[in-house]
Amino acid sequence: MRRRWRRVCQLGTGAGLILAVLSAQAENWQKISEDAVQTSSVDRDSFRVDAGQIWFREKHVILNQQVDPGSLRRIREIQERRLVDCDKKRIATASRAVFGDDDALIFYSAFRPRQMAWMSAKLDQAAFDLVCAKPVPAARRD
């Protein structure tokens, strides 16, 4: 009986920890664009200011039947971790994950900060405008 009670307590503690982690990773997605191909959103709770630049997460939900040429699987969602420099009006992608049906990871790439390719913010103007709004919404400063 004691052994069973100890196991119930262990399971309860484990479930509590999982819920705490999930709640700490709450997301606040705001739609920034939508067309026939995809819906793009930015997680407003992911903003983090670092040395005058802002890190954030962006996702693209694919609405049509795009297929990954390497795996021949249907692409459902793309999630990116990005960095924006509001003063220089440029944006870069630090990591990119492509998911298929049932959240299956199709492809993942990540770059070190010095290896990231910066591009003009005009190529993702909607994300740039939201992230660089003054004051930076819900940004954590490191």
CATH of the domain at 54: 2.40.128.710
Alpha-carbon span 16 to 31, nearest angstrom = 31
CB 58 within 8 A of CB 79: yes
Determine if the pTM surpasses 0.85. no
Alpha-carbon span 131 to 47, nearest angstrom = 8
Total structural domains in the chain?
A: 1
Q: Is residue 113 part of a domain?
A: yes
Q: Is residue 6 part of a domain?
A: no
- Res 11: pLDDT: 47
Region 83-109 average pLDDT: 95
Is it the case that residue 70 has pLDDT exceeding 70? yes
Q: Is residue 62 part of a domain?
A: yes
How many alpha carbons lie under 13 Å from residue 6 in its C-beta half-sphere? 3
- Average per-residue pLDDT for the chain: 84
Domain of residue 85: give its range. 27-141
Is it the case that residue 135 has pLDDT exceeding 80? no
- Res 20: pLDDT: 39
Q: Is residue 13 part of a domain?
A: no
Alpha-carbon span 63 to 80, nearest angstrom = 17
Q: Is residue 136 part of a domain?
A: yes
Q: Is residue 51 part of a domain?
A: yes
Please enumerate in sequence order all residues whose Cβ is within 8 A of that of 90, keeping only pairs 6 or more positions apart, or say none: 84, 118, 119, 120, 121
Per-residue pLDDT of 18-69, as tens digits, reads 433 334 456 899 999 999 999 999 999 999 999 889 999 999 999 988 999 9
- Res 137: pLDDT: 53
Q: Is residue 76 part of a domain?
A: yes
Q: Is residue 12 part of a domain?
A: no
Region 73-101 average pLDDT: 96
Query: Please, what's the largest Cα pairwise distance for the chain?
Result: 66
